[in-house]
Amino acid sequence: MVDEIKSLDDLKSAVAGKPAAAAAAEEAPRTPVRDALGRSYATGKRKDAVARVWIKPGSGKVTVNGKDINAYFARPVLQMILRQPFQIANVEGQFDVMATVVGGGLSGQAGAVKHGISKALQLYEPSLRGALKAAGFLTRDSRVVERKKYGKAKARRSFQFSKR
């Protein structure tokens, strides 16, 4: 085994107990993941909302639950949230998005679609992963509503105290 070690990577894999070929296979460059229609699919989540997102090359049309982005997300802030991954990756107007989203409220749904778009973009074009990851768009925001406890009015709020 000692005569096989020729580089630092080989040394690292030998210490980890893996053959050099297996270590090289783990660090292989990412390949695009696309279906037969040239689309990439990803699931995005935020709070209780779950979004299924497909992206494909196109003119920048965004459809959410069969409606245009302006009809589904009427507030400009929510529309801006959906455009952020494209702005970070410098690919605005180059992809069509088709998303279905369920659960939660509009803010959570917008965050879920944004997460799904980011994941689908990096699957479609792996070179965009660095910019999206640095912006924090590939990380699932794990904050969810705390559950209500027994003996409490809400999750933490107690009932009003009465001395008499």
Q: Is 117 exposed, middle or buried (0-12, 13-18, 19+ CB in 10 A)?
A: buried
- Rounded alpha-carbon distances, angstroms, from residue 114 to 32, 38, 42, 53, 64: 20, 20, 11, 9, 12
* Domain of 93, in residue numbers: 40-134
Same domain, 3 and 51: no
Rounded Cα distance between 74 and 163, Å, is 49
Burial 89-103 (b: 16+ CB within 10 A, else e): bebeeebbbbbebee
Amino acid at 27: E
- Please give the pLDDT value at position 74: 94
Q: Is position 142 within any domain?
A: no
- Please give the pLDDT value at position 32: 87
- Please give the pLDDT value at position 120: 94
- Please give the pLDDT value at position 22: 54
Q: What is the mean pLDDT of each run of 10 residues along the chain (164 residues)?
A: 57 61 63 89 95 94 95 95 93 94 95 95 92 94 94 96 91
Q: Is position 140 within any domain?
A: no
Same domain, 2 and 46: no
Burial 46-66 (b: 16+ CB within 10 A, else e): bbebbbbbbbbeeeeebbbee
Q: Is position 148 within any domain?
A: no
Tell me which DSSP letter residue 68 carries: E
Same domain, 58 and 126: yes
Same domain, 68 and 13: no
Same domain, 46 and 122: yes
Q: Is 40 exposed, middle or buried (0-12, 13-18, 19+ CB in 10 A)?
A: buried
